[in-house]
Amino acid sequence: MQAKDHCSSQVGRSCRAAAGAFIAMTLFALTPYLCAQSPSSLEQFDSMHIGAFDPDGWSGIVFDGKAHGQRLTFAMRVGSKSGSFIDGDRVFEAVATVGPHAPDGSYAKLSWRHPPRASVITLEWARIDASTVVGRVTAPAGVHLVFEGYSPFEASSTALFRTNPARSEIAASHYIDGHPGTAAQFVLKTDGPPSAAATFADIAQLQKVMDVGELANASATGPETVPESNNTPDELSLTGAAGMESIAGANAPTHFVAMVGFNTAKLSARAGELLAPGQIDRILSENSSRYEQTRPHVDGQFAGASDPIANTMFWNTLYVPSIDLEFPSISRRWAKGFGGWVVGEWDCFFGTLLTNVEDSAQSSSATRAILLSQSPTGLVPNMDGGSGTSPDRSQPPVGSYAVWKNYQRSQDKELLEWAYPRLKRWHEWWFADRGDGQPWRDGNRGGLLEWGSDRGSIPSVGGRGNLVAAKWESGMDDSPMYDDVRYDPNTYTIALDDVGLNALYALDSECLAEIAGILGKEEDRRVFAADYARMKDSIQKLWNDEDGIYENRYWDGRFSHRLSPTNFYPLIAGVAPPDQAKQMIQRHLLNPREFWGEYVIPTIARNDPSFADQYYWRGNIWGPTNYLVYEGLNRYGQDEVALDFAGKSYNLFMSDWQQLQHSNENYSPSGGSSGGDPHYTWGTLFDLALRMRIP
């Protein structure tokens, strides 16, 4: 089977076999939802990115602009107090609804709760033009709401915030170097008078005040005694944040407008117009309805499967100014931990498949973000982010597969042309001479690959040149498969030929051959096709006829009998002859003593001693491994098994999503979360395995 057949006709094979009975999907062409705007709507800004881009500010909006070549940022967010105070990162654990989020920001909805209250605080917002967001906060009567303005991403604020309680307004100025007296302006205005208002050196001080009391307790004087003349940016210092507090009334949502520009009076006047009764409610209702009508929907056995994918992915979208791209990070919490943004290699390549369900633009951006991190040697790193990268190690080579599959939907030849030379260099890196005659990842020069971690002087996140780092390159960090392997300090690899790595490398060859063909690179196509044929032959060295499955193999020739989902990756690569594929599926995948069960499939066989650990890659069920095994079943036409597999994946994911709105990093084989990040992007791969047909 050629990659062209595999990567295009494979889509939805098992579900097509039952499409009439199980799945009905509606997809309309996405249309822009933003209100009409004049070319001058940004005034003096060169560019403006607007979204929930602060990893700590899930309940907020960032305005990340540039003027006169300088970055100018403002942000707002909403906090709530009902016993405890919840804002910033605390919202992450309190989320009750991960609602819809249109890719263009035209409508977004999120809610959180204060236990033991069952009722929720709901935030809805819509970007209506190049510089304006309108929104609504609905809360139970008596809950204290705090509208906060602050400078995001800055250890020491360069924007000055002030309050005008009489106008229910927070304003800020961001002065511009080299242009004395010129400042970008920000206005946040609500339709209800605040009970208190105050300014602070930074947003952390505001949070500390609310933790123990109310804004009226702040060192700043209460709003009733602060005339506007005493609260001007020229007289303030270290006012990097401001807050307005109000008390929610019964059935009385609070509306707000947040805007940027260069004239505070004009911004304030325009905000007042938008706050006219019924105006924001109408905008939110129309934008919400339009988005729901145009996004994909799934009915039948797999009802609602597409919604969690988009909701999770686009609520994790961040803007990275250093590369000028908007795309979903791994998760908001991981982004915070890695300096404001982070890409994980296979995490984010899988993420491009997920965003492509609704928005090919963010899939393109994420592809670029990952490949822009490529090292001079050609390695695409395990991770890259605001706090560093990992130049010593890569991760499973799924890039060409993801790019090829995305091309089938988007037909974005420009991206294909941009990505191809980078994917080619990465593919060639694995077997390339590192400079001393030693291949980077063929430590024993046996024609098969091993995981590794290079020694060197450039710092690497988490360390480098050791067994732990080599395991991290596998993407399955603490997998029992590698409990007894050794790290060779001369080759920088582990002494184990790995089934999963070699199968994915073969798949990479196959897809690169097809991409080269599309781009008219006939010689490259022949080279990659030959590389694929060579790898198919080499991987047969890993077939254990006695066990009826491909197994990892130590350098001394012994097979490792520890089985994981990676032992099935020869299916997705198409390297297993039909009789071998049948043995693998019947003897092992469908064997309840090893992998089959109510939920599938654990990351180590159920009869492996380490399965009892039930920790991380030691028995838990993960989205990426499920997805790759499922795709292999489709490739071999195992329609009934694939459909059953899809149903088990869907049930595992949706039971937790419907109850807790979690897209978990990993799941327990008995159902539900098994710890890890509860809002991790690739958790939704369990729903993508349904192979929803997106034309």
The angle that helices 499-518 and 413-429 make with each other, rounded to 10 degrees, is 140
- Name the phi and psi angles at 580, rounded to 5: -65, -45
Separation between Cα atoms, residue 499 and residue 76, nearest integer Å: 49
pLDDT at 251: 76
* 66 and 46 Cβ atoms separated by less than 8 Å: yes
499 has pLDDT over 50:
yes
Residue whose entry in the numeric block shows the structure tokens 């304030």: 268
Nearest to 210 by CA among 75, 81, 112: 81
249 has pLDDT over 80:
yes
Q: Which residue has the higher pLDDT, 362 or 23?
A: 362
Average pLDDT over residues 233-262: 85
> For residue 454, how many other CB atoms are within 10 A of its CB?
23
Average pLDDT over residues 323-331: 96
Q: Which residue has the higher pLDDT, 491 or 676?
A: 491
Average pLDDT over residues 478-490: 98
pLDDT at 44: 82
The CATH number of domain 52-294 is 1.10.10: no
Average pLDDT over residues 257-275: 97
227 has pLDDT over 50:
no
pLDDT at 156: 67
Separation between Cα atoms, residue 494 and residue 472, nearest integer Å: 12
* 346 and 388 Cβ atoms separated by less than 8 Å: no
Average pLDDT over residues 505-510: 98
Q: Which residue has the higher pLDDT, 586 or 695?
A: 586
Helix/strand/coil percentages in the chain, nearest 5? 35, 20, 40
> For residue 5, how many other CB atoms are within 10 A of its CB?
12
41 has pLDDT over 50:
no
228 has pLDDT over 90:
no
CA distances from 533 to 203, 273, 517, 569 (A): 59, 67, 17, 16
- Cβ neighbours of residue 141 under 8 Å, at least 6 residues apart? 248, 249, 250
pLDDT at 24: 28
Phi-psi domain of 671 (left: phi exceeds 0; alpha: psi -120 through 50; beta: other): left
Separation between Cα atoms, residue 451 and residue 493, nearest integer Å: 6
As a whole number, the mean pLDDT across the chain is 90
pLDDT digits (tens, 9 = 90+) for 441-480: 999 999 999 999 999 999 999 999 999 999 999 999 999 9
Which fold is adopted by the domain 433-588?
Glycosyltransferase (1.50.10)
How many CA atoms lie within 13 Å of 259's alpha carbon, on the beta-carbon side? 28
User: Please, which residues bridge with residue 690 across strands?
Assistant: none
Q: What residue type is 304 in one-letter code?
A: G
589 has pLDDT over 70:
yes
pLDDT digits (tens, 9 = 90+) for 634-691: 999 999 999 999 999 999 999 999 999 999 999 999 998 888 899 999 999 999 866 5
* Distance from chain centroid for Cα 673: 18
* 98 and 110 Cβ atoms separated by less than 8 Å: yes
pLDDT at 238: 65
Separation between Cα atoms, residue 688 and residue 686, nearest integer Å: 6
Share of the chain above pLDDT 70, in %: 90
* 147 and 81 Cβ atoms separated by less than 8 Å: no
pLDDT at 192: 84
* 134 and 257 Cβ atoms separated by less than 8 Å: yes
DSSP 173-223: EEE-TTSTT-EEEEEEEESS--SEEEEESSHHHHHHHHHHS-GGGSSSPPG
Of the given ranges (248-262, 426-440, 678-692), which has the lowest mean pLDDT?
678-692
Angle at the Cα of 152 from the Cα atoms of 147 and 156, rounded to 5 degrees: 115
Separation between Cα atoms, residue 469 and residue 474, nearest integer Å: 9
For residue 5, what pLDDT band results from cuts at 50, 70 and 90?
Answer: very low
338 has pLDDT over 90:
yes
Of the given ranges (14-23, 115-124, 244-253, 675-684), which has the lowest mean pLDDT?
14-23
DSSP 525-554: HHHHHHHHHHHHHHHGGGEETTTTEE--EE
Give first-to-last CA distance, the chain, whole Å.
22
Residue whose entry in the numeric block shows the structure tokens 């073969």: 506
pLDDT digits (tens, 9 = 90+) for 119-152: 999 999 999 999 999 999 999 999 999 999 999 9
3-state secondary structure of 597: coil
Of the given ranges (12-26, 83-97, 99-113, 162-176), which has the lowest mean pLDDT?
12-26
Angle at the Cα of 512 from the Cα atoms of 508 and 516, rounded to 5 degrees: 175
- Name the phi and psi angles at 81, rounded to 5: -130, 125
